[in-house]
C-alpha cells in the first residue's frame, strides 16, 4: 500500500515520512504507558519499570526503524539511523539545551555514562575492522561485532541497576507514576495501539526515505544521517529543551547520553546479529564524529567547578555539527 502511494510523487513521500514520525512517537508513548501500567499491577517497582520499560520505550523509534530497514535490505539506513541519532543527540540537542540553560551533570554521568558513550562511538569504528569468524566477507559490522556490542550493553544494564539500587533518589519516575490508575483494558489498548503505530510508522519512514534518496540522487546513508536521524531524535529534543526551560537540564544530559548508549550497544548490536551490516562510505568519519562529540561533552563538564555544559559549550557543539553536516553534504 505504501509503495502504491509513493508512486504519486515526491510530495507524498514527504507527507508519509512526517506521518511516520508522528506514528512512531505516539506509538512509543502509548506502549510505554500501557506496559508500565501492566507492570505496576504485577507489583514491579518503579525503579525496575523506569530502567526497563521506560528506557527501552524511548529507544523504540530507532529500534523499529532499524528492524524495518534490515527486513527491506536497507542496511545503510540501519547504521546511519543510529550514528546520525547519536550525533544529533550530542551536538544538536545538548547544544540547544545548553544555550537555553547551562546543563549540570551528575557524578555518574561524568564518571560512567559519558565515558561509555565515547566507547560506543569507538566500538562502531572498531567493529568495522574486526574479521568475523562467522564467514561474512567485506567490511562492516559482523555478527561477532554485534555480539560484542550486546555484551557491552549487558554490562551497562548491570551497572545501571546496581547504581540505581544504591542511589534511588537519582531515578526519575514521573512517567511511571502517571500510569498507576489506568484500567487493564485501557493499558492493553495502548499496548496494541502503540505497537501498531510503531510498525506503521517504521514502514512509512523507511520506504519513504529510500524513495526520497532515489528521487534526489543521494545515498540512503545521507538520508539516514539527516532526515531519519533527526525524526527519531525528536522525543529527546522536546524532552531536553522543556527540561532546560524548567531549569532541570541535568535530566536532559542523562536522557541523551543514555539514549546514545542504548542506540549503539542494544539496537545496533541486535541489528548486526540479525543481519550483518556492510560498511558504507564515510562510516569511520561518522563513528569518530559521534565519539568526539561525547569527548567534548566530557571535557566541558570536567573543566569547570560547576560541572556544567555552559552556553559557550553549547555553541561549540552546534558549530561542530554545522561543520560536520556541511562537509558531509558537500562530499556526497
With residues binned 3-state (H G I as helix, E B as strand, rest as coil), the percentages for the chain, rounded to 5, are 80, 0, 15
For residues 126 and 141, give the distance between their C-alpha atoms in angstroms, rounded to a whole number: 9
**Which pLDDT score is estimated for 300?**
95
Beta bridge partners of 277: 141
pLDDT at 73: 85
The whole-angstrom separation of Cα 31 and Cα 83 is 25
Q: What are the boundaries of each domain within the chain?
A: 2-330
**Residue 173, Cβ neighbours under 10 Å: how many?**
16
- In this structure, the strands spanning 308-309 and 103-104 are antiparallel
What is the value of pTM for the model shown?
0.83
Distance CA 107, CA 207 (A): 42
pLDDT in tens, the chain (332 residues): 665 666 556 778 888 888 888 888 888 888 888 888 888 777 776 656 665 676 677 788 889 889 988 988 888 888 998 999 999 999 999 999 999 889 988 888 888 989 999 999 999 988 886 655 555 556 789 888 899 999 999 999 898 888 777 766 555 545 445 555 678 888 889 889 988 988 888 888 888 887 887 777 777 788 888 888 888 887 777 778 777 777 776 677 877 888 899 999 999 999 999 998 998 888 889 999 999 999 999 999 998 888 899 999 999 999 999 999 999 888 86
Residue written as cell 510505554? 32
Fold of domain 2-330: A middle domain of Talin 1 (1.20.1420)
Asked whether the beta carbons of 36 and 179 are under 8 A apart, the reply is yes
b/e sequence 226-238, b meaning 16+ C-beta within 10 Å? bbbbebbbbbbbe
Amino acid at each position: 500500500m505504501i509503495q502504491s502511494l509513493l508512486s504519486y510523487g515526491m510530495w507524498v513521500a514527504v507527507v508519509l515520512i512526517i506521518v511516520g514520525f508522528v506514528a512512531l512517537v505516539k506509538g512509543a508513548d502509548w506502549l510505554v504507558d500501557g506496559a508500565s501500567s501492566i507492570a505496576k499491577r504485577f507489583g514491579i517497582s518503579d525503579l525496575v519499570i523506569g530502567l526497563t520499560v521506560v528506557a527501552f520505550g524511548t529507544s523504540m523509534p530507532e529500534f523499529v526503524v532499524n528492524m524495518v530497514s534490515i527486513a527491506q535490505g536497507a542496511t545503510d539506513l540501519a547504521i546511519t539511523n543510529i550514528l546520525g541519532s547519536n550525533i544529533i543527540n550530542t551536538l544538536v540537542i545538548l547544544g540547544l539545551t545548553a544555550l537555553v540553560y547551562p546543563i549540570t551533570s551528575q557524578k555518574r554521568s561524568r564518571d560512567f555514562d559519558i565515558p561509555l558513550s565515547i566507547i560506543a562511538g569507538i566500538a562502531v569504528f572498531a567493529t568495522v575492522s574486526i574479521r568475523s569468524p562467522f564467514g561474512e566477507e567485506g567490511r562492516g559490522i559482523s555478527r561477532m561485532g554485534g555480539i560484542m556490542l550486546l555484551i557491552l550493553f549487558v554490562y551497562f544494564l548491570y551497572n545501571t541497576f546496581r547504581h540505581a539500587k544504591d542511589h534511588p533518589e537519582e531515578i526519575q519516575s514521573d512517567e511511571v507514576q502517571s500510569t498507576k490508575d489506568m484500567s487493564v483494558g485501557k493499558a492493553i489498548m495502548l499496548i496494541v495501539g502503540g505497537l501498531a503505530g510503531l510498525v506503521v510508522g517504521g514502514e512509512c519512514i523507511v520506504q519513504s526515505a529510500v524513495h526520497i534518496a532515489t528521487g534526489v540522487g543521494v545515498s540512503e546513508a545521507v538520508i539516514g544521517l539527516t532526515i531519519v536521524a533527526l525524526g527519531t531524535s525528536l522525543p529527546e529534543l522536546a524532552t531536553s529543551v522543556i527540561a532546560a526551560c524548567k531549569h532541570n537540564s541535568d535530566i536532559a544530559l542523562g536522557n541523551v547520553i543514555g539514549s546514545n548508549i542504548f542506540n549503539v550497544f542494544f539496537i545496533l548490536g541486535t541489528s548486526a546479529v540479525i543481519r550483518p551490516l556492510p560498511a558504507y562510505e564515510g562510516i569511520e568519519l561518522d563513528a569518530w564524529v559521534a565519539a568526539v562529540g561525547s569527548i567534548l561533552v566530557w571535557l566541558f563538564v570536567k573543566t569547570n567547578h560547576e560541572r556544567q555544559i555552559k552556553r559557550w559549550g553549547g555553541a561549540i557543539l552546534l558549530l561542530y555539527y554545522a561543520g560536520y553536516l556541511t562537509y558531509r553534504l558537500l562530499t556526497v
